[in-house]
Structures are given as C-alpha cells and as structure tokens.
Structure 1
Amino acid sequence: MIFATNGAKLYISDSAQNTEPADATTYGALTWTEIKEVESLGSFGDTAEEITFTSISDARTRKVKGARNAGTLEVVMGQDYSDAGQAALIAAEKEIHDYAFKVVFNDAPDGGTPSERYFIAKVGSASEALDTANSVMKLNVSLLVDSKITRVDAAAGV
C-alpha cells in the first residue's frame, strides 16, 4: 500500500547527541520538538561508496561496496519566527554537535501507530530564501545525516 507525504512531521531532539542512540526505544525516550511549516523533507537513506579494482589479467573491473552515506536532507519550510522547532534548527546550525531527528509518517492503520525514522545529523546550513513577490519566505536547512537510519514500521492497533 502506498501513502502520500502529506501529514508527515519532522522533529528535532532537545539536546545535542554525542553518540547514536542504540535503538528505536532509546530514540523514542528523547525529548522532541516538532519543526512546523515543512514544505519538503527531501530524501535520505544509505548509499554505498563504489570501490573499484581493475585486474590486468582478465581486463575486468570489479566493484565492491565501501563506506555507507545516509545522505543530506534538504528541508524547506515556510519561515515562522515563532516556531520553536525552527528556532532549534537555527541554533543547532551554530554548533558542531549532532542532534537526533525523527520523521513520523501519516500511514498509521486504523487504531495503530505510524511509521517513524530516526537518525543523527548535523545542521549544516540554515538559509533564508526570498523569492518572488508572490512567494512565502522560506527557511532552507541541510541536515547532514551522520548515522544509519533507524526504521520503525507502522503497526496495527491491538
């Protein structure tokens, strides 16, 4: 079954994280602040670096998987000066520390719980975008994912 992106929510942890939480339960125990007015979440997920070796004897290039990179989320928001989540992002950009992030999807079955994704990231940038006269002022943030993505699938209610 497929689901629309609408209704998804993004959260930032209330404190810097020195290490990646061990599992979804540990992530879930953190204190979270929702980041409001999100227009686009971008994409994230592991990609392996390609390592190549070309053998002289059979003139064949061999490929193996190298280090994994979970990507950079390019998050776009309608700028809201009163939003605590956006303020936390701007403050986190000024620091060198990682923060935990949570994405909650709008895919819960009736009476069940939605899918969630957890990860650690540095806020690499926080810039304002002022486009045309008929545009909303935007806050564009790059989240440099620095961990694996911990997946929690939607679950049926009891």
Structure 2
Amino acid sequence: MTIFTTAGTRLYIGGPLAAKSTDFVEADFVGQSALWVEIDETEGLGSAGDTSSEVTFDGINSGRTRRLKGTRSAGTMDIVCGLDATDPGQIALIAAERTKGDYAFRVVLADALPGGTPSERMFVAQVGSAAEQYDTANSVMKLNASLWINSNIVKIDAEV
C-alpha cells in the first residue's frame, strides 16, 4: 500500500451542472472537459465524503432507541487560497458564489505512480461562500470558500 501527500493536488471549477436525483457517473462530466479552470494558490482543500443522517425511533415496548440511516450528505468542502485577484479559477469561484446554481468541481490528487495517471474526484456543488481574510501584517491575504456538495463524489482510480 502506498500513501501520498496532499502537496501537488489540484482543484478545478467547471461550468454549471445541475444536481440530479440519481448518482453522477464519470460520463456526466465529459461536457466539462473544455470548461475546467484550475483554482490556483490553494492552501487547504478541506474534506468531502458521504455521511448519513441519523434517524431514531424510541420503541416503547423494548425501551430501546433504534438508529437508522437517513439521507446522505457529501458535506461542505472548505477551500483556503492565497488571495489572487487575477487568478481565473478564483474569479470563477467568486462568480459562482453570486449565482444560485450548482457547478462541476474536479479534484486531481497527487497520487500518480511513475508513468501513470492520478486519481480524480468529481462532484457538483454550490459555492456557499467566498470571503476574503486579511489577518495580521505577517499573513498572506486569503480567499475562503465553502463548497456545498449536492451530489455523490465520483471517484476515478489512478492508473499505471
């Protein structure tokens, strides 16, 4: 088994892509190929992945709470970037925050083996926030964005 660092991972924003009632598959993102724009100067990519809501039932005769799985949420991916007002990816991210629609996102992990291709993650999300952070004199100004993931996460394995 091989592990990898996050360094070298890349985040891209695509064009509008509406959420749907069924899971996305890789083919659903084919139309985004010419639209992907890298969001540069990323410092933190947060986390993403399904979590089930807890549904409880208090049984009177058993005196026991039963737990069931409800709806699934892929969560909120909190992105931190060094603020770059000229970066096309950051400009697209800020523009997406100003709309009410979903956008395609793509994460290309830094896990390619020599001569191979890296794995990828693709999903649909709304940009819930895009806020600037200034902090202190010895700080880099940041762009903090929250991606409200509205789909499953399509995983594409690395290939050798």
TM-score scaled to structure 1, two decimals? 0.94
Q: Count how many residue pairs are aligned between Structure 1 and Structure 2.
A: 155
- What's the counterpart of residue 29 of structure 2? 27
Task: Report Cα offsets for 1:117-157 as digits up to 9, x if no partner.
Answer: 0000000000000011000000000000000000011111x
- What's the counterpart of residue 81 of structure 1? 85
Q: Does 1:8 align with 2:4?
A: no
Identity of aligned residues (%): 52
User: Which of 102, 106, 110 is 1:102 aligned to?
Assistant: 106
Deviation at 1:26, TM superposition (A): 3.1
In 1: Cα distance, 2:101 partner to 2:84 partner = 24
- What's the counterpart of residue 44 of structure 1? 48
Which stretch shows the higher mean deviation, 16-25 or 31-40?
16-25
Which stretch shows the higher mean deviation, 16-25 or 30-39?
16-25
- What's the counterpart of residue 131 of structure 1? 135
User: Which of 60, 67, 70 is 2:71 aligned to?
Assistant: 67
The residue type equivalent to 1:11 in the other structure is Y
Deviation at 1:65, TM superposition (A): 0.3
Residue 65 of structure 1: SS of its match in structure 2?
Answer: strand
| Structure 1: gaps spanning 5 or more residues | none
The residue type equivalent to 1:24 in the other structure is E
Residue 74 of structure 1: SS of its match in structure 2?
Answer: strand
Residue 27 of structure 1: SS of its match in structure 2?
Answer: helix
In 2: Cα distance, 1:55 partner to 1:138 partner = 50
The residue type equivalent to 1:130 in the other structure is Y
Runs of 4+, deviation exceeding 3 Å: 19-22
The residue type equivalent to 1:26 in the other structure is D
Question: Over aligned residue pairs, what C-alpha RMSD do you find?
Answer: 1.2
Deviation at 1:22, TM superposition (A): 4.1
CA contact (8 A) 2:24 2:152 kept: no
